[in-house]
Amino acid sequence: MKNISDIAKDAVELTLPAIHKLFERSNRKELHIVIMNPQLKPWEASFEDAILYETSLGTPESWTIPFDQFARKKAKQAWRESMANIEVQNLHPSSLRDDDILFYGSFVYGNVVVACSGVEQWYDMLVSGWIALAIEQLTIHEYQTTKLQNPSQINRKRS
């Protein structure tokens, strides 16, 4: 069974054609993506240690806006609260901290947390959702394939 890091990278690769198509209608063609490790909880690891994968699209060396920092702040907020930061900002603003970013763009699906920054915040959230769903569904595929191929295997990792 593929590890979660490889699955996260696969999910980004799988969604790239849609992201590039979205760039045709967005305000810029720049994006930073942060994926949190769904196997780690905020009480088990530091935020930095829980980042599973991150990558930039476009030309990050020419960014005048720190999209990587914005994406990390969105991811941190969503990971900490276990909900998309649009929910925190609109439904539960009492939990906002002084250094929380006030743009949304994260998506939480089960334990999968993804955040993006670089395009309009609604498109950041859309891309985050695509990637989060892809991670979970690719993991389900790996899980089901492993079960079919090894019906007597009792743990995720073979001994």
Sheet of 31-36: strands edge to edge? 51-57, 31-36, 112-117, 106-109
d(CA 120, CA 12): 19
With a cut of 50, list the residues of the chain below it in pLDDT: none
8 Å CB contact between 81 and 97: no
Alpha carbon distance 62, 59 (integer Å): 6
In this predicted structure, what is the pLDDT of residue 158?
61
Confidence at residue 154, expressed as pLDDT on a 0 to 100 scale:
78
Amino acid, single-letter form, for residue 138: L
Q: Which residue has the tokens 């670089």?
A: 118
* pTM for the structure as a whole: 0.94
Q: Which of 115, 89, 145, 140 is nearest to 31 (CA)?
A: 115
- CA-to-CA distance for 144 and 118, rounded, in angstroms? 35
pLDDT of residue 159: 53
Q: Looking at 67-145, which runs of residues are DSSP E strands?
A: 106-109, 112-117
pLDDT of 87: 97
Q: Are strands 106-109 and 51-57 parallel, antiparallel or unpaired?
A: unpaired
pLDDT of residue 27: 95
